[in-house]
Structure 1
Amino acid sequence: MNTIILAGGKSSRMGENKALMKIGGKRIIDRLIEEFIPVSEKVIIIANEELPQIDDSVLILEDSETFKGQGPLAGMLTGFTAAGEGLCFVVACDMPLASNKLARQLEQTIIDKKVDAVIPVADGQIHPLFAVYNTRILKDVIETLKDDKRAVKSLLDRIEVEYIEIGNSSVLRNMNTKEDYLEAKNIIERRELH
């Protein structure tokens, strides 16, 4: 399985690049790389601005010119194209508590169920930016973007998806505001003290 980290967002509510924000002295992007390198054939980062000093074993790509700046779906298209055939775990760069344990669980489910995607559900909310996809859906991603639909939800309507309810929703917590960032920072720094 390859891991695709989406780090191309505008971060308008945060006011700075979330991927480069630090928790416990480490940038969030580096935390995600460390978490997913052990369970990935390749780690691919999709970023539309420069990410300095990234691990050499990681591939950094920009969105294709055709769909540049068109949100996570465009980033997924770039990542799936680079990954080639097989499974890809997609994670947004604003999920500092993301766990490779859950990613492996999703991977096992997609293998067992033979579906196009496995997406976790927590507290009634789906998390398509922490999910495993089969790259065979590449055509569907392109068609969705060509139809001028940018929401990942529009893609999900076209493909076969298995939704799995998970108990621990904290691993899916994302950061949109400074308050979210401070909460995640407290959780991680407390955890790392023990």
Structure 2
Amino acid sequence: MNTIILAGGKSSRMGENKALVRIGGKRVIDRLIEEFLPVSEKVIVIANEVFTLIDDSVLILEDSETYKGQGPLVGILTGLTAVKEGTCLVVACDMPFASRELATLLERTLIEKNLDAAVPIADGQIHPLFAVYQARILDDVISTLKEGKRAVKSLLDRLNVEYIEIGKSLDFWNMNTREEYLEAKNIIEGNESD
């Protein structure tokens, strides 16, 4: 499995780059790299600004100029272009609790059923930004973007996807605001001090 971490968003509601905020003494981007590096052939961070002090084994890429700044689907395009083949976990940088256990479960389902994508559902909501895709869908991503569609859901509509009910899980905790960040910080720092 390859891991593509999407860290190119504007973080407008947070007021600072979500990937670089610290929880338990570590930047969220470093927490995600540490979590997924052991189960990844490659870890690729898609970022539109300079990230320093990142593990040397991690590839940092900017979105292609053609679609730059047009959302997570472009980040997926950039990552899949670099990977070329195999399975790819896509994870957003604002999910500090994302786990390799769930990623491995999604990948296993994808391979066993020969799917294009395995996408979790929790609390009735699909989570395409913590899902596993086959790199072979690259042409579908390009076609979706060429049609002027930017939503990842538009991509999923053209793929062979299995939606997997996960139930309640911290894996999908998403930090969009300062309040959500502080809550995540309390959860992690509370657990790590136990």
Q: TM-score category by the smaller chain?
A: over 0.9
Offset of 1:84 from its aligned partner?
1.1
Cα distance in 1 for partners of 2:156, 2:163 equals 11
Identity %: 75
- Counterpart AA for 2:107: E
What count of residue pairs does the alignment treat as equivalent?
A: 194
Cα distance in 1 for partners of 2:147, 2:173 equals 30
- Please, what is the CA RMSD of the aligned residues? 0.7
Partner of residue 45, structure 1: 45
SS at match of 1:119: strand
- Counterpart AA for 2:26: K
Alignment of 1:1-194 (within 5 A): 1-194=1-194
TM-score using structure 2 length: 0.98
- Structure 1, residues 102-146: CA drift from partner, whole Å, max 9, x if none? 000000000111110000000000000000000111001001111
TM-score using structure 1 length: 0.98
Offset of 1:170 from its aligned partner?
1.3
- Counterpart AA for 2:96: P
Unaligned 5+ segments in structure 1 are: none
- Counterpart AA for 2:185: K
SS at match of 2:66: helix
SS at match of 1:54: coil
Cα distance in 1 for partners of 2:169, 2:180 equals 14
Offset of 1:26 from its aligned partner?
0.5
SS at match of 2:95: coil
SS at match of 2:30: helix
Offset of 1:167 from its aligned partner?
2.6
SS at match of 1:66: coil
**Contact map agreement 2:123 2:168 (CA 8 A) in 1:** no
Cα distance in 2 for partners of 1:43, 1:168 equals 27
SS at match of 1:59: strand
- Structure 1, residues 37-90: CA drift from partner, whole Å, max 9, x if none? 000000000000111111111000000111111110000001001011110000
Unaligned 5+ segments in structure 2 are: none
SS at match of 1:49: coil
- Structure 1, residues 133-171: CA drift from partner, whole Å, max 9, x if none? 001110010011111111000000111110000134211
Cα distance in 1 for partners of 2:107, 2:176 equals 27
